């Protein structure tokens, strides 16, 4: 069979190489102006801001009431109590959205609802429960007055203009992920569009004579293609655009045809599942070398040893093992950091594997010497807030479909750490949030 891999590369070296490639791509995109686009805030959820955003106005843009009640001159109320209420003439009543047209002077007030603009002259709001309207005779006529039973200080129950956001204040930093809270802030400042990083396009193809697309009839000796669906969803979850190209049979012509399609679709990154070893049917290494440069073929991790990384026409191409577990592990460790970077994440955040949680292993675990090993685990909730989650290994082999279904995440047993004792602590990288109802 000959040598199975070109050279087994250390994981740290592979990660550093991919990070350098990502930086170069981002720099090239930035110089060409291809890296950003302006989108409506209604379509910005999950995107990454490409520039700082500064508010052009105060929020709120006017002084407003924070309680239902009466807008007053605070000094008019200083001696008010329930025995000796202060009586003020009621000039008008203001509701949210109304523009005040009268001025509050000493001895007068206006009714006001929460959120309404504070009228000129007023500097405080008396809560409605601390006042009562009545009819009084003044200068020979009946007028509506308000009796105040409790004093207020200046600015009490008032939100001043700009107290939430000041004009010129930064409301969105560069490389911020646009959450519902962030888009809400943009809307509050009257913005309808935001500059974001473009979504990288990722071509995804599978290889193997044994594969059949889901939904098709399953002939004898065939299996359904799992990785295409898993990888498409993983790419989408990172804010990128997946482009599934289908299955290439184990012939140089079939693989070449799909690789050419990936290039024609203007994909920024190419993911190939399967065909990464050096068996008779594993053609990806030769296909990459015929079109570009092979940079990595083999990495010192388990699962995922037959990982491939190269470049074809200035675009990264990743070869992931065909085993579903191996494919997902190598995607998370090597592909995801590059995609995060291309999608706009800052370098210090792009390399993070995902959310982690500290847990105790439920049994002794042995690791193969000489390699970093990733162990898939099922998490169970702690008995109390002071205890750790429990991590039980899911040991079904890297090709078992149920392994992925059962596992909540994985942890690293680093090279040189060949034994974990029961109850030792590990940092588990979560595939997603914990199951609903799991206490934290």
Are 122 and 155 contained in the same domain? Answer: yes
- Tokens of residue 34, six digits: 């291809």
Q: What is the pTM of this model?
A: 0.81
- Residue 51 inside a domain? The answer is no
What is the spatial distance between Cα 178 and Cα 203, in angstroms, rounded to a whole number? 25
Residue ending a domain, choose from 307, 332, 350:
350
Are 342 and 393 contained in the same domain? Answer: no
Are 260 and 278 contained in the same domain? Answer: yes
> Which pLDDT tens digit goes with each residue over 297-346?
999 999 999 999 999 999 999 999 999 999 999 999 999 999 999 998 87
Are 219 and 234 contained in the same domain? Answer: yes
Query: Which residues does 213 contact at the CB level (< 8 Å), separation at least 6?
Result: 224, 225, 228, 246, 247
- In 3D space, the residue among 325, 321, 331, 412 whose CA is nearest the CA of residue 372 turns out to be 412
Residue 365 CA to chain centroid, in angstroms? 33
Range of the domain at 138: 64-159
What is the spatial distance between Cα 272 and Cα 129, in angstroms, rounded to a whole number? 69
The total of other beta-carbon atoms located within 10 Å of residue 84's CB is 8
Q: What is the pLDDT along the chain (440 residues), one digit of tens a residue?
A: 344 555 789 999 999 999 999 999 999 988 887 789 999 999 999 899 999 999 999 999 999 999 999 999 999 999 999 999 999 999 999 999 999 999 999 999 999 999 999 999 999 999 999 999 999 988 888 899 999 999 999 999 999 999 999 999 999 999 889 999 999 999 999 999 999 999 999 999 999 999 999 999 999 999 999 999 999 999 998 989 999 999 999 899 999 999 999 999 889 999 999 876 555 446 898 899 999 999 999 999 999 999 999 999 999 999 999 999 999 999 999 999 999 999 988 777 776 667 889 999 999 999 988 889 999 999 998 888 889 999 999 976 555 777 888 899 999 999 989 999 999 999 999 987 544 334 43
Q: Give the helix/strand (H/E) hosting 23.
A: helix 11-32
> What CATH number is given to the structural domain containing 155?
2.170.190.11
> What CATH number is given to the structural domain containing 414?
2.40.340.10
Are 283 and 368 contained in the same domain? Answer: no
What is the spatial distance between Cα 317 and Cα 386, in angstroms, rounded to a whole number? 45
Are 284 and 338 contained in the same domain? Answer: yes
Are 338 and 389 contained in the same domain? Answer: no
176-185, long-range: CB within 8 Å, 24+ apart, which pairs?
Answer: 176/48, 176/49, 177/46, 177/47, 177/48, 177/49, 178/41, 178/44, 178/45, 178/46, 178/47, 178/48, 178/49, 179/45, 180/45, 182/49, 183/41, 183/44, 183/45
Residue 425 CA to chain centroid, in angstroms? 27
Query: Which residues does 84 contact at the CB level (< 8 Å), separation at least 6?
Result: none
What is the spatial distance between Cα 2 and Cα 309, in angstroms, rounded to a whole number? 21
Per-residue confidence (pLDDT) for residue 437, from 0 to 100: 37
Total domains in the fold of the chain: 3
- Residue 363 inside a domain? The answer is yes
The total of other beta-carbon atoms located within 10 Å of residue 402's CB is 11
Per-residue confidence (pLDDT) for residue 6, from 0 to 100: 59
Are 209 and 321 contained in the same domain? Answer: yes
Are 208 and 289 contained in the same domain? Answer: yes
Secondary structure class of 324 (helix, strand, coil): helix
DSSP state of 334: I
Are 390 and 422 contained in the same domain? Answer: yes
- Tokens of residue 431, six digits: 């595939």
Per-residue confidence (pLDDT) for residue 401, from 0 to 100: 78
CA distance to 15, 61, 283, 440, per residue, from 436 (Å): 33, 41, 43, 11
């Amino acid at each position: 069979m000959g040598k199975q891999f070109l050279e087994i590369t250390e994981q740290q070296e592979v990660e550093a190489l991919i990070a350098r490639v990502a930086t170069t791509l981002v720099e090239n995109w930035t110089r060409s102006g291809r890296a950003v686009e302006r989108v409506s805030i209604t379509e910005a959820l999950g995107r990454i801001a490409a520039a700082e955003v500064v508010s052009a106005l105060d929020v709120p843009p006017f002084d407003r009431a924070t309680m239902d009640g009466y807008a007053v001159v605070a000094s008019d109320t200083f001696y008010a109590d329930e025995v000796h209420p202060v009586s003020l003439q009621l000039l008008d009543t203001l509701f949210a959205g109304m523009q005040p047209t009268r001025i509050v002077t000493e001895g007068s007030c206006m009714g006001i609802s929460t959120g309404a603009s504070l009228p000129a002259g007023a500097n405080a709001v008396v809560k409605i429960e601390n006042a009562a309207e009545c009819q009084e005779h003044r200068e020979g006529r009946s007028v509506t007055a308000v009796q105040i039973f409790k004093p207020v200080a200046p600015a009490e129950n008032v939100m001043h203009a700009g107290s939430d956001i000041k004009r010129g204040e930064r409301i969105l930093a560069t490389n911020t992920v646009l959450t519902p809270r962030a888009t809400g802030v943009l809307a509050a400042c009257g913005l309808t569009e935001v500059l974001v990083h473009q979504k990288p396009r990722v071509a995804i193809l599978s290889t193997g004579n044994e594969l059949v697309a889901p939904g098709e009839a399953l002939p004898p000796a065939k299996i359904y293609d799992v990785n295409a669906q898993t990888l498409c969803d993983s790419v989408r979850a990172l804010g990128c655009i997946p482009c599934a190209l289908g299955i290439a049979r184990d012939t140089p012509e079939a693989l070449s045809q799909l690789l050419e399609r990936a290039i024609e679709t203007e994909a920024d990154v190419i993911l190939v599942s399967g065909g990464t070893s050096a068996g008779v049917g594993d053609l990806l290494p030769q296909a990459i070398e015929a079109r570009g440069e092979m940079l990595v073929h083999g990495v010192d991790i388990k699962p995922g040893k037959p990982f491939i990384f190269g470049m074809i026409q200035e675009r990264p191409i990743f070869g992931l093992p065909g085993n579903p577990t191996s494919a997902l592990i190598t995607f998370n460790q090597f592909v995801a950091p590059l995609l995060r970077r291309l999608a706009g994440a800052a370098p210090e955040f792009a390399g993070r594997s995902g959310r982690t949680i500290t847990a105790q292993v439920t049994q002794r675990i042995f690791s193969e010497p000489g390699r970093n090993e990733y162990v898939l685990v099922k998490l169970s909730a702690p008995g109390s807030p002071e205890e750790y989650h429990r991590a039980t290994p899911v040991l079904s082999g890297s090709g078992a479909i149920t392994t992925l279904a059962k596992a909540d995440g994985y942890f690293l047993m680093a090279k040189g750490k060949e034994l974990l004792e029961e109850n030792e602590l590990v940092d588990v990288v979560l595939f997603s949030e914990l199951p609903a109802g799991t206490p934290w």
